[in-house]
C-alpha cells in the first residue's frame, strides 16, 4: 500500500511539474511581448507676477510638487495587433490616477503600410517638440486628447493619417455625433539619407479648434460656427548635438464674440508659435533657449515669452533640469518663472 501511495505521489508531482513548466513557459513568452516604462518628475518652482494695474498687488509664490508619475504598458498581441496603455498622475490635476491613453493598433507591418488605431489617444494635431521643462504655448492651446479612431499610411518617410472623434464642443442646434476630424501629414528624412542630419516636418488640420484641450475649457456653450485649426512644425538635429524646434498653431478664422471666455468682447483668432535652439556639448549636458508667443489669447497665455534652460544627466536615466521663463501678457502683466526638475525614467 505504501509503495502504491509513493508511486501516486510521484505521478502527481510529475504532473504538477509539467503543468507549472507549461505555465512558466507561457508567462515567459508573454513577458517578452510586454514592455513597461515609466517616468517620475519632481518639480520646485517660484513665480513672480507684476500686474500692470496699479490697484492690484504684485504676487510671489513657490511650491514643490510631484509633477508627474507616468506608467506605460505596451503589449504585442501578435505581429499585426498591439495595445498601448498609459496611466498618469499629476498633482492637483489628475488625482486619483487617470487613464491618459488606451488604444488598440492594427498594422499591416510588412504586408501593407497601413494602420488603424482606436481608443483614447492624443490625436496628431501639432507636434510640440521641446527641450524645456515647461510646455510650449503651442501645446497649451493645441494638444487634443480624445476617444478616436485614427487610420493612416506610414513608411520610413511619410506618416499620413485621418482621425475622427465626437468632440465636446458642438455648433448650435447640432446633434451629438462624430463630427470632428484631424488630418495629419508628416515627412521624416530616412536615417542615413544625409550624414549626421535628422529632420522631420509636418502639417495638421483640425476641423473644430474648440475641441482642443486648451481652448475647450474656455468655451461655455455651443458655437455659432465651427472654427478650424492649422498646425505646422519643423524638427531637426545635426550630429545629435545641435537641435531646432519650430512650430506654429492657429485658428483658421475668428470665433464669435463671447464664445471665448477671455475675449473681452472682441472677436478673437487664437494663435501661438514656438522656436527653440538647443546644444548638447556632451552626452550629459544640454543647453537650450526658447522664444515663443501668442496672439488673441487674452490673459490665458503670455503674448511673448523668452526662456533659457539647462539639463544634466546625473547618471543613467536620471537627470536634473533648471529653466527660467520671462513673459508678458496682452494686458501688460509680466511673469517670471523659475523651475527646477528631477526626473527618472525606466
In tens, the pLDDT along 300-330 reads: 999 999 999 999 999 999 999 999 999 999 9
Q: What is the distance between the alpha carbons of residues 71 and 278, in angstroms, rounded to a whole number? A: 28
Choice between 23 and 152, residue whose per-residue pLDDT is larger: 152
The arithmetic mean of pLDDT across residues 212-217, rounded, is: 94
Tally of CA atoms within 13 A in the half-sphere of 236 that contains its CB:
13
Shared domain check, 98 and 40: yes
Residues 115 and 185 in one domain: yes
Question: What is the predicted pLDDT for the residue at 183?
Answer: 98
Within this chain, do residues 2 and 78 fall inside the same structural domain, yes or no? no
Residues 27 and 49 in one domain: no
Q: How far is 82 from 107, CA to CA, in rounded Å?
A: 8
Nearest by Cα to 143 from 170, 161, 124, 130: 124
pTM, two decimals, is 0.89
Q: Are residues 159 and 13 in the same domain?
A: no
Close Cβ partners of 78 (under 8 Å, ≥ 6 residues apart): none
Residue 223 contacts residue 253 (beta carbons within 8 Å): no
Mean pLDDT, the chain, integer:
91
User: Quick check: 7 pLDDT over 80?
Assistant: no
258 vs 198, higher pLDDT? 198
CB of 69 closer than 8 Å to CB of 40: yes
Over 90: is that where the pLDDT of 290 sits? yes
Q: Domain count for the chain, please give it.
A: 2
Q: How confident is the model at residue 20 (pLDDT cuts 50, 70, 90)?
A: low
509539467: which residue's cell?
A: 18
* Residue 288 CA from chain centroid, whole number: 20
pLDDT range class, residue 21, cuts 50, 70, 90? low
Judgement on whether residues 159 and 285 belong to the same structural domain of the protein: yes
**Are both 154 and 203 inside the same structural domain?**
yes
Nearest Cα neighbor of 245 from 142, 331, 135 is: 135
More confident: 193 or 25: 193
Distance CA 220, CA 263 (A): 12
Indicate if 332 and 209 belong to the same structural domain.
yes
pLDDT of residue 114: 97
| Model pLDDT, residue 109 | 79
Shared domain check, 85 and 27? no
Question: Region 207-214: what's the mean pLDDT?
Answer: 96
> 110 and 229 share a domain?
yes
pLDDT tens track for 62-114: 999 999 999 999 999 999 999 999 999 998 887 788 999 999 999 997 789 99
In this prediction, residue 9 has a pLDDT band, given cuts at 50, 70 and 90, of: very low
**What is the mean pLDDT of the segment spanning 201-227?**
94
CATH number at residue 188: 2.40.160.10
Range of the domain at 18: 1-32
Q: How many CA atoms lie within 13 A of 296 on its CB side?
A: 19
Name the least confident of 9-13, 120-124, 210-214, 330-334. 9-13
Asked if residue 43 and residue 6 are part of one domain, the reply reads: no
Structure confidence at residue 17 (pLDDT): 52
Q: Are residues 154 and 137 in the same domain?
A: yes
Amino acid at each position: 500500500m505504501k509503495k502504491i501511495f509513493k508511486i501516486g505521489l510521484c505521478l502527481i508531482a510529475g504532473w504538477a511539474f509539467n503543468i507549472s513548466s507549461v505555465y512558466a513557459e507561457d508567462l515567459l513568452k508573454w513577458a517578452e511581448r510586454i514592455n513597461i516604462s515609466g517616468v517620475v518628475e519632481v518639480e520646485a518652482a517660484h513665480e513672480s507676477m507684476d500686474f500692470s494695474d496699479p490697484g492690484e498687488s504684485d504676487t510671489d509664490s513657490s511650491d514643490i510638487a510631484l509633477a508627474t508619475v507616468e506608467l506605460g504598458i505596451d503589449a504585442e498581441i501578435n505581429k499585426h495587433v498591439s495595445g498601448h496603455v498609459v496611466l498618469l498622475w499629476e498633482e492637483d490635476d489628475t488625482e486619483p490616477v487617470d487613464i491618459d491613453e488606451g488604444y488598440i493598433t492594427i498594422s499591416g507591418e510588412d504586408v501593407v503600410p497601413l494602420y488603424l488605431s482606436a481608443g483614447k489617444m492624443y490625436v496628431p494635431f501639432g507636434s510640440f517638440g521641446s527641450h524645456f521643462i515647461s510646455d510650449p504655448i503651442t501645446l497649451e492651446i493645441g494638444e487634443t486628447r480624445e476617444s478616436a479612431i485614427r487610420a493612416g499610411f506610414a513608411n520610413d518617410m511619410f506618416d499620413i493619417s485621418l482621425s475622427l472623434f465626437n468632440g465636446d464642443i458642438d455648433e448650435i442646434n447640432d446633434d451629438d455625433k462624430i463630427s470632428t476630424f484631424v488630418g495629419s501629414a508628416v515627412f521624416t528624412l530616412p536615417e542615413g539619407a544625409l550624414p549626421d542630419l535628422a529632420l522631420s516636418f509636418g502639417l495638421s488640420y483640425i476641423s473644430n479648434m474648440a475641441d482642443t484641450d486648451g481652448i475647450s475649457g474656455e468655451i461655455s456653450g455651443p458655437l455659432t460656427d465651427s472654427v478650424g485649426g492649422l498646425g505646422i512644425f519643423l524638427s531637426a538635429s545635426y550630429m545629435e548635438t545641435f537641435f531646432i524646434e519650430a512650430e506654429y498653431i492657429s485658428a483658421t478664422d475668428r470665433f464669435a464674440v463671447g464664445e471665448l471666455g477671455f475675449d473681452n468682447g472682441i472677436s478673437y483668432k487664437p494663435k501661438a508659435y514656438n522656436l527653440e535652439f538647443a546644444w548638447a556639448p556632451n552626452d550629459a549636458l544640454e543647453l537650450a533657449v526658447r522664444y515663443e508667443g501668442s496672439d488673441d489669447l487674452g490673459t490665458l497665455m503670455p503674448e511673448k515669452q523668452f526662456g533659457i534652460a539647462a539639463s544634466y544627466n546625473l547618471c543613467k536615466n536620471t537627470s536634473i533640469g533648471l529653466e527660467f521663463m520671462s513673459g508678458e501678457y496682452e494686458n501688460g502683466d509680466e511673469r517670471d518663472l523659475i523651475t527646477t526638475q528631477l526626473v527618472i525614467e525606466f
